[in-house]
Every structure is written in C-alpha cells, then in structure tokens.
C-alpha cells in the first residue's frame, strides 16, 4: 500500500467532513449486526409478562422470581468477558453468529423447561449469548462505520433492543388469553425465531476492516473500506490511518504483552481515563434501574391497584412504544448534536421522571381508593423515564463504549466495560423486589433518582465529546485534562 503523506492526510480531514450522507453498504452491515440485540430486548419485554404466568404455573416464590429474572443478566457477564478474546481470535462477524446460536439454544431450553431448575438452566445459556451480543454488535458497527455517521449506526443496537422489548410486550398481550400452562412457554420459545434470522443474516456480512488490519489482511480490509466509503481516496486514507494506528501499537512497549495487563496493570493516564469513562457509563446505565423497572413494571402497577393482566400488558405496550420512539429520535440526532448534550439531557430527565414516579407510587401505596389521576401520573412518569433513558444512556452507552478504546484494546476493553454493565444489571434485577419490599416502590424510585443525579455530575466532568472524530483520533481527547475539556468545542 502507498504511504500517505501529511498533505494527503490533511485532505483526508476534508473527505471525512464532507462524507455526512449515509453510506448504504455500511448501514446495511450495521443493521444486520444490530439485529443481534433484538434478542435481549425480546427477553426483557416478554419476561415482564411471562413471569406472571410462570409464578402461577410453577408456584415459585418472590426470591425465586428475582433469581429467575436476574440469572440471565448475571450469566451474560460470562459471555461479555469471553467476547473480547473470542472476537479477537475468530473475528467480529463469527462472534455475532456464536451469540445467536447460544441464545437460540437457551430459548429452546426455557420454552420446553419441565421445571424451575430447567428454566434456570435455559436462562444461563441464553445469558451467555446475550453477553456476547451486547459487546460485539456495537463494537462491529463502530469499526465498520464512517466517522460522521458512527453515532447513528452505533446506536442501532439500542434501537433493536427497544424494538425487541416492544415485540415482547405485544407477544405478552397477544398470548395472555390462552392456557396458563402454554402461554409463557410459547412466549419464550418465540425468542428462537429472531435468533435463527440473525445467525443466517450475519453470514453475508463482511468482516470488520480493523480486525482484518490486525490480522495483516490489508487487501481484504481495503475491499471493505471501499464499500463503506464514498470514494476510493477516502478508503485509502482510512486504511492508512488504521494501519498506522496498529503499527504504532505493535511498536509500543506493550507489544506482545497481554491486553489485560495494558488495561489494568500500569495503564497510561489516557488509558486509565478511557477505562473509567467506559466502566462508568456502563455502571450508571444499569444502576439507573431501567431493566428492572421494565421487568417488574407489572408488579409495580399491580401494587398500585391495576389487577387485570390484560391492562398491565396494555400499559407495557404504551411504555414500549414511547421507548422505541425516543431511541429513534436520539439515534437520528446523535451525529448532529453530539453525545454529551443528549446524555446530560437524558439523565436530568430521568431524575425528574423517577422523582415523580416515586411521589406517585408513595401516594398510591398510602391511598385506599387508588385514584385514577394518580395512576395516570405514574404511567406518564414511567413512560417519561424510559423515554429519557432512550434519549441518553440507552443508545449512548453502546456508542461511547465501542468508540473510545484504541484498536488494540477495543475488543477486550469493551468486553470489560460491558461485563460491569451485566453485573450491575444482574444485581439490580435480583434485588429490586426485595429492596422495594423494605423501602417501598416509592422509596426505590427516589433512590434511583439520586443515583441519576450522581451520574449527571460524572458525565459532565468525565466524558468528552467524540462526535465526528475518527476512531484513531478519539484517544487524544483523554490524553490530558485540558484536551478532554476542549473536546466538545473542537468537534
């Protein structure tokens, strides 16, 4: 490959600035990879309703219910930890296929489970698949996307999670009228259908050009970059930047050493800041309680006085529609307004929404008559909470985690951050009902509002703006405090 001179590199900046329109090939690849995320969304949505019937059919306790819900999230920690090394060894594309196959097996075991232990076993297997998919879908998308549209494309995994949640709610509503022995089984078995589609669709995708460069398959990398760029000149420039970034890592003091040592054992100041930012945003995404609120919303409104399952599932559909609408709005504006403004807007909005939900829940808990206006306020507050989550933390967590690590550290750094995500999700899911019993649902929502206030401060001071920057340039934003503070202005 021809060496690219400094003058050409300056022209490259103009190429990237001009390439603001969506590349259709890159978009198709991003859509295919992101459909993997529909698997987690479907499980979150469908389990919120299926658990009501599982409790009646298998006669499980509240503790067993929490374990059943949380097992998938905790075990997804295994998949997310393994996914970094796996994707570096076999490639990003085949890791997505592996995630779909694993989830397919788990869905079959869950749907056909004759008893509670078998149901738990299915959740374990499906959880491993979810862990793989949550890490690899945004990472692959970030690596194949042009810089100026990377925000939109990297947020697509969250879009598909939200679509999956909405499909799960609709399936709950559709099958709520059949026998209790069969409805929850059909709900869980249907998760195998999208897993098959994902596994087959991903086979036609190209491999990540950055992974191909890591394996020194430069001609294949260039072929992919030509398809995902507007011009061959832009593809040449992108290949040159990726290749130089990789060669720089290979010639560094860490060459030949474990990536984990580079991340965790005497990391550079920039690497430490990147790790804190990635782990922090993943921690707060799940500490917000969003997954738990979705899983246990029927229980929350059952306590508020809504007893009919059909009505509970109807509220879920309304909430899922609001969530899907706002995650699409966020995805469309991520590359225009940037990550920071939408992230801060989302967390501030969640503070207000969760506080309102806390007030509404406490009023309903202490009211014998359960007035309709209080129920309506609580429903609106829930919809607002998940909508603000979908504007900020939902999509931006995946975008940010997958784009801030340098190439050598990207797969395993992202897998570490996503592992924190899954661990916190599991802990929150497995303790939500227990803590709510002790301090009431209202108290729980006030506690989550407090966590989101802390998150807002963290994001304001720690997270630089990354919109429009090439993956190879983002690390510079973390090199010193002044650069980080100026990141937003420079973009």
4-26 average pLDDT score: 55
List the chain domain ranges.
Answer: 21-205+252-490
pLDDT at 437: 87
Query: Using one digit for the tens of pLDDT, what is the confidence trace for 72-123?
Result: 888 888 998 898 889 989 999 899 889 989 999 999 999 999 899 999 999 9
Which residues have C-beta within 8 Å of that of residue 452, sequence separation ≥ 6? 284, 288, 347, 350, 351, 354
167-173 average pLDDT score: 86
Query: Using one digit for the tens of pLDDT, what is the confidence trace for 231-240?
Result: 889 899 989 9
pLDDT at 7: 39
Domain 21-205+252-490: homologous superfamily in CATH: MFS general substrate transporter like domains (1.20.1250.20)
pLDDT at 126: 92
What is Dmax (Cα atoms) for the chain? 77
pLDDT at 18: 43
Asked if pLDDT for residue 69 goes beyond 90, the answer is no
Query: Using one digit for the tens of pLDDT, what is the confidence trace for 335-345?
Result: 889 999 999 99
Asked if pLDDT for residue 13 goes beyond 70, the answer is no
What one-character-per-residue DSSP string does 376-419 give?
Answer: HHHHHHHHHHHHHHHHTHHHHHHHHHHHSS-HHHHHHHHHHHHH
Q: Is the overall model pTM greater than 0.75, yes or no?
A: yes
What's the CA gap between 328 and 330, in Å, rounded? 5
Looking at per-residue confidence, does 258 or 313 come out higher? 313
CA atoms within 13 A on the CB side of 280: 19
Query: Using one digit for the tens of pLDDT, what is the confidence trace for 426-435?
Result: 899 888 888 9
pLDDT at 20: 59
Query: Using one digit for the tens of pLDDT, what is the confidence trace for 275-320?
Result: 999 999 999 999 999 888 877 877 777 766 666 777 777 777 888 8
pLDDT at 483: 41
């Amino acid at each position: 490959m021809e060496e690219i001179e400094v003058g050409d590199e300056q022209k490259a900046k103009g190429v990237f600035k001009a390439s603001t329109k969506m590349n259709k090939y890159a978009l198709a690849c991003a859509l295919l990879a992101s459909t993997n995320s529909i698997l987690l969304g479907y499980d979150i949505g469908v389990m919120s309703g299926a658990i009501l019937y599982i409790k009646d059919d298998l006669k499980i306790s509240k503790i067993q219910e929490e374990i059943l819900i949380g097992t998938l999230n905790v075990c997804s920690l295994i998949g997310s930890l393994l996914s970094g090394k796996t994707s570096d060894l076999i490639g990003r594309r085949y890791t997505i296929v592996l995630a779909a196959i694993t989830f397919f097996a788990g869905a079959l075991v869950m749907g056909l489970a004759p008893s509670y232990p078998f149901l738990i076993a299915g959740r374990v297997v499906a959880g491993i698949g979810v862990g793989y998919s949550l890490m690899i879908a945004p990472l692959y998308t970030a690596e194949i996307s042009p810089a100026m549209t990377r925000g939109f494309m990297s947020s697509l995994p969250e879009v598909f999670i939200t679509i999956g949640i909405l499909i799960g709610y609709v399936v709950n509503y559709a099958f709520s009228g059949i026998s209790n022995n069969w409805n929850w089984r059909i709900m869980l078995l249907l998760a195998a259908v999208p897993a098959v589609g994902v596994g087959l669709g991903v086979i036609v995708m190209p491999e990540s050009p950055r992974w191909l460069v890591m394996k020194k398959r430069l001609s294949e990398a260039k072929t992919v970059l030509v398809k995902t760029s507007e011009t061959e000149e832009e593809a040449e420039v992108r290949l040159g930047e990726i290749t130089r970034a990789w060669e720089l890592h290979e010639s560094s003091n860490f060459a030949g050493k474990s990536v984990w040592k580079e991340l965790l054992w005497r990391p550079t100041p920039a690497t430490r800041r990147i790790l804190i930012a990635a782990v922090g945003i993943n921690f707060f995404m799940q500490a917000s309680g969003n997954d738990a609120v979705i899983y246990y919303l029927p229980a929350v409104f059952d306590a508020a006085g809504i007893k009919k399952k059909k009505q509970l599932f109807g509220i879920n559909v309304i909430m899922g529609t609001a969530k899907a609408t706002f995650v699409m709005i966020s995805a469309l504006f991520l590359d225009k307004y940037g990550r920071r403004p939408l992230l801060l807007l989302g967390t501030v909005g969640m503070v207000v929404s969760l506080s309102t939900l806390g007030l509404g829940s406490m009023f309903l808990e202490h009211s014998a008559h359960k007035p309709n206006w209080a129920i309506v306020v609580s429903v609106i507050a829930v919809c607002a909470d998940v909508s603000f989550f979908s504007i900020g933390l939902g999509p931006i967590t995946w975008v940010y985690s997958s784009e801030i690590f340098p190439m050598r550290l990207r797969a395993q750094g992202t897998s570490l951050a996503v592992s924190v995500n899954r661990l916190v999700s599991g802990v929150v899911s497995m303790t939500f009902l227990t803590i709510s019993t002790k301090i009431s649902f209202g108290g729980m929502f006030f506690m989550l509002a407090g966590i989101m206030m802390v998150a807002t401060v963290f994001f304001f001071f720690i997270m630089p703006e990354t919109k429009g920057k090439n993956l190879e340039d983002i690390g510079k934003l973390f090199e010193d405090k002044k650069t980080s503070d100026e990141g937003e202005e420079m973009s």
